[in-house]
Chain A
Amino acid sequence: MNINLTLIMQAVAFAVFIWFSARFIWPYLMNQVAERQKMIADGIAAGEQGRQNLATAEKRVDELVAEARSKASEIVAQGEKQRSETVEHAKREAQAEADRIVAAAKAEIAQEVARAKEELRRQVSTLAVAGAGKILKREVDAGAHASMLREIEAQL
């Protein structure tokens, strides 16, 4: 156990190694570690953020679905109403048309009846004249009795 110059040289070597690690190793790796810690913290924060976003989005989706559902049922109800209205309307229209047709038919029938009466009247007068002629068994001057016939015609 003898102390010699080695002690001083070892101390110098030690000092140089301390300087080297303090200058070139420690700060870089500590920076690195700090940076990585920050990165991991950021990642965790981002994950948390994502989770929250997802929850918000899910809530929003639920809202949207509920809204869509109510809107759809509303639309269906509206459609139902519209349909019944349309049917009602068509019914009314058809009824009116039918009434109109019936009225027209009635009018035509009335007209037809009138015309038939007229015709009948005319034929009856002719028939009466012919009958009368036969009854009288003589020539009847149609021209002389025209005014008389017309009178009878009018009375029918």
Chain B
Amino acid sequence: MTVASEQTASEYIQHHLTFFQRGDGGFWTVNVDTLVVTIVAGLVTFGFMWLMTRKSTVGVPSKKQALVELALEFIDNQVKDIYQGPTKLIAPIALTTGFLVLMLNAMDWLPVDIMAGFYRNVFHIDHWRNTPTADVNTTFALALSVFALSIFYAIQFKGLGGWLHELISAPFGMKPWWAAILLIPANLAFQLVEYVSKPLSHSLRLFGNMYAGEIIFLLLGALAASSIVGAFAGAVLHFFWAVFHVLIVVLQAYIFMVLTVVYLSMAQEHH
């Protein structure tokens, strides 16, 4: 808040949207905040799950164990609904994606200014962004990993030849032979659009939602700093937006997970 009183609204927002970076400022830069929050959140989430598997019993489960089992069975059911193929790795991928994204999205619930104050006073860091999924690097990393996996599975299931054949033959086919000269480029163009749009929409949907959520929190923060009336309005609106954001955080994580499974299962289907 002290920062906001000395700044204009745009400076305040700009300040909150600056990464804690190390590097040359070009491609060889690392957003330390994104990376650290991701790793810590992942360690906490999967460490907790791992701990539960260590201590778990077949008999009557403890509440924590039941929670983890509930989460896993939820994922398992979701995956079974969408994917019936033989790959055993799909379910753990869905588990990792779903809960990692959920945790990273949930970082958006942390109040921006209190966290900024915390980082400045405890760690003496001026710029720190809490929500890794509001960093396009994270969402692209996740989406491109899924993209790479889907191509890997496609080639694994159809063979390299089969996959390449599908690139030029689907969705219009290559018959009759005299039309092939027209159909092949059309097919290729369609496939290309499909392959590009999948990871783009996959990552940008999540990024857009989380980034917008963050911006709105910041705008309300700026409003709260503007005047007494603004402070009340900001507090009330902040509350409602936070409630709504609970939905967005969970929904976006769920959508991201389901799309991951859908893309991976589509990769194994024959056209």
Give chain A's interface residues, CB within 8 Å of chain B.
1-11, 13-15, 17-18, 20-22, 24-26, 28-30, 32-33, 35-36, 39
Contacts and interface: CB of A to CB of B under 8 A. Distances in A.
A53 to B, nearest CB: 25
Question: Does more than half of chain B's interface fall in helix, strand or loop, or is it mixed?
Answer: helix
B212 interface: no
A21 B49 contact: yes
Contacts of B135: 6
B46 interface: yes
Interface string B40-63: 001000100110110010100100
28 contacts: A1-B136, A2-B136, A4-B23, A4-B28, A4-B29, A5-B27, A6-B29, A6-B31, A6-B35, A6-B135, A10-B38, A10-B137, A11-B144, A13-B38, A13-B42, A13-B141, A17-B100, A20-B50, A20-B96, A21-B92, A22-B89, A25-B92, A29-B49, A29-B53, A29-B69, A32-B56, A33-B76, A35-B58
Interface in B127-174: 132, 135-138, 140-142, 144-145
Given A21-B92, A24-B53, A6 B58 contact: no
Contacts of A5: 23, 27-30
Nearest to A16: B42
A11 to B, nearest CB: 4
Interface in B169-210: none
B26 A4 contact: yes
Contacts of B28: 4-5
Which 5 pairs show the lowest CB-CB distances between chains A and B?
A10-B141, A22-B92, A6-B137, A28-B53, A11-B141
A15 B145 CA distance: 8
Contacts of A21: 46, 49, 92, 95-96
B41 to A, nearest CB: 10
Contacts of B100: 14, 17
A66 to B, nearest CB: 44
Interface in B65-100: 68-69, 72-73, 76, 89, 91-93, 95-97, 100
Given A29-B69, A30-B72, A4 B46 contact: no
Given A4-B23, A14-B141, 5 more contacts: A4-B137, A10-B141, A13-B38, A29-B72, A30-B91
A5 to B, nearest CB: 5
A25 B23 contact: no
Contacts of B138: 6-7, 10
A82 B93 CA distance: 89
Contacts of B72: 25-26, 29-30, 33
Contacts of A10: 34-35, 38, 132, 137-138, 141-142
Contacts of B91: 26, 30
A32 B136 contact: no
